[in-house]
């Protein structure tokens, strides 16, 4: 199932799949954004198949708008060897609150690491390589996967020191930069440090709080192909993107 670069059984994933998809609502009828049909499957299923290919087989989907459509899909179309739990929001939790609720709904053994990523984007990063700083240095509390873009103006960027340690999330600005792919590897103990407020944003609330408390967050930069389906321009690109990278997914 996994490639030679497998994350292993001590990692569980939270996929943030609660997006309403305001910018592409007119293209989706009544579907939540992660359920956008792409190459014969909902986009979020491609995210799951990418993770399964890298050895992640315990997943929780944090769902919001039309949560039942996501749960029904995976109930009807289970993936062999992959455990998928849905954790629907009954009130707005934000991305950070969604992670906490989803993590509590996993069941089974507590993972050492949580892999957090979005259900409406894909970056074909080597996740085992992204984990390396956590294995090498117990002082690293979490890893953020970034990607260099020559034109990063549509995204916020990551400011780091020379060693790759995160200093701050920068606002959108013209020019090049390392963008946040929305992929995080966090030690389980770090979840207890999340602020209690709800809704809670990972980027705007959680990471600034962790940095203020002295936690070390490392940025690992990848040049892997990346697509966010959240705009009317990018959603139509998803079909070709998935087909071009078919080898990245569990068959």
Residue 110 has pLDDT above 80, yes or no: yes
Question: Where are any strands of DSSP class E within 64-196?
Answer: 83-88, 113-118, 121-123, 140-149, 157-160, 166-170, 177-187
With cut-offs at 50, 70 and 90, classify the pLDDT of residue 2. very low
Angle at which helices 43-53 and 67-76 cross, to 10°: 50
How do residues 37-80 score in pLDDT, each as one tens digit?
Answer: 999 999 999 999 999 999 999 999 999 888 999 999 999 999 99
Question: What does pTM read for this prediction?
Answer: 0.93
Percent of the chain beyond pLDDT 90? 82
With cut-offs at 50, 70 and 90, classify the pLDDT of residue 26. low
Q: Which residue has the tokens 């030690």?
A: 187
Per the prediction, the chain carries an average pLDDT of 92
CA distance 50 to 119: 11
With cut-offs at 50, 70 and 90, classify the pLDDT of residue 4. very low
Give me 60's structure tokens.
């929780």
The structural domains of the chain, with segments of one domain joined by +, span 11-248
Among candidate residues 3, 9, 16, the one with its CA nearest the CA of residue 206:
16
Percent of the chain beyond pLDDT 70? 94
Second CATH level (architecture) for the domain 11-248: Alpha-Beta Complex (3.90)
Cβ neighbours of 198 (radius 10 Å): 16
The 3-state DSSP class for residue 196 equals: coil
Among candidate residues 38, 3, 41, 27, the one with its CA nearest the CA of residue 250:
3
Among candidate residues 119, 111, 108, the one with its CA nearest the CA of residue 51:
119
With cut-offs at 50, 70 and 90, classify the pLDDT of residue 27. low
Facing residues of 179 across strands? 147, 157
How do residues 122-172 score in pLDDT, each as one tens digit?
Answer: 999 999 999 999 999 999 999 999 999 999 988 889 999 999 999 999 888
With cut-offs at 50, 70 and 90, classify the pLDDT of residue 230. confident
The 3-state DSSP class for residue 76 equals: helix
């Amino acid at each position: 199932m996994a490639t030679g670069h497998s994350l292993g059984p001590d990692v569980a994933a939270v996929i943030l799949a609660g997006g309403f998809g305001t910018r592409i609502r007119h293209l989706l009828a009544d579907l939540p954004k992660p359920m956008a049909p792409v190459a014969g499957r909902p986009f979020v299923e491609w995210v799951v198949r990418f993770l399964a290919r890298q050895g992640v087989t315990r997943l929780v989907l944090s769902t919001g708008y039309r949560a039942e459509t996501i749960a029904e899909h995976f109930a009807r179309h289970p993936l062999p060897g992959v455990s998928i739990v849905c954790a629907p929001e009954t009130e707005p939790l934000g991305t950070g609150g969604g992670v906490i609720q989803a993590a509590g709904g996993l069941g089974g053994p507590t993972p050492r690491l949580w892999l957090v990523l979005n259900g409406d984007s894909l970056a074909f990063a080597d996740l085992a390589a992204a984990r390396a700083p956590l294995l090498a240095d117990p002082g690293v509390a979490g890893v953020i996967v970034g990607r260099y873009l020559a034109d990063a103006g549509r995204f916020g960027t990551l400011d780091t020191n020379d060693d790759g340690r995160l200093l701050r999330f920068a606002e959108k600005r013209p020019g090049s930069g390392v963008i946040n792919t929305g992929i995080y590897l966090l030690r389980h103990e770090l979840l207890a440090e999340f602020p209690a407020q709800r809704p809670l944003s990972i980027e705007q609330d959680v990471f600034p709080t962790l940095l203020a408390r002295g936690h070390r967050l490392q940025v690992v930069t990848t040049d892997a192909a990346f697509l966010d389906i959240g705009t009317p321009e990018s959603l139509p690109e998803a079909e070709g993107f998935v087909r071009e990278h078919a080898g990245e997914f569990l068959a």
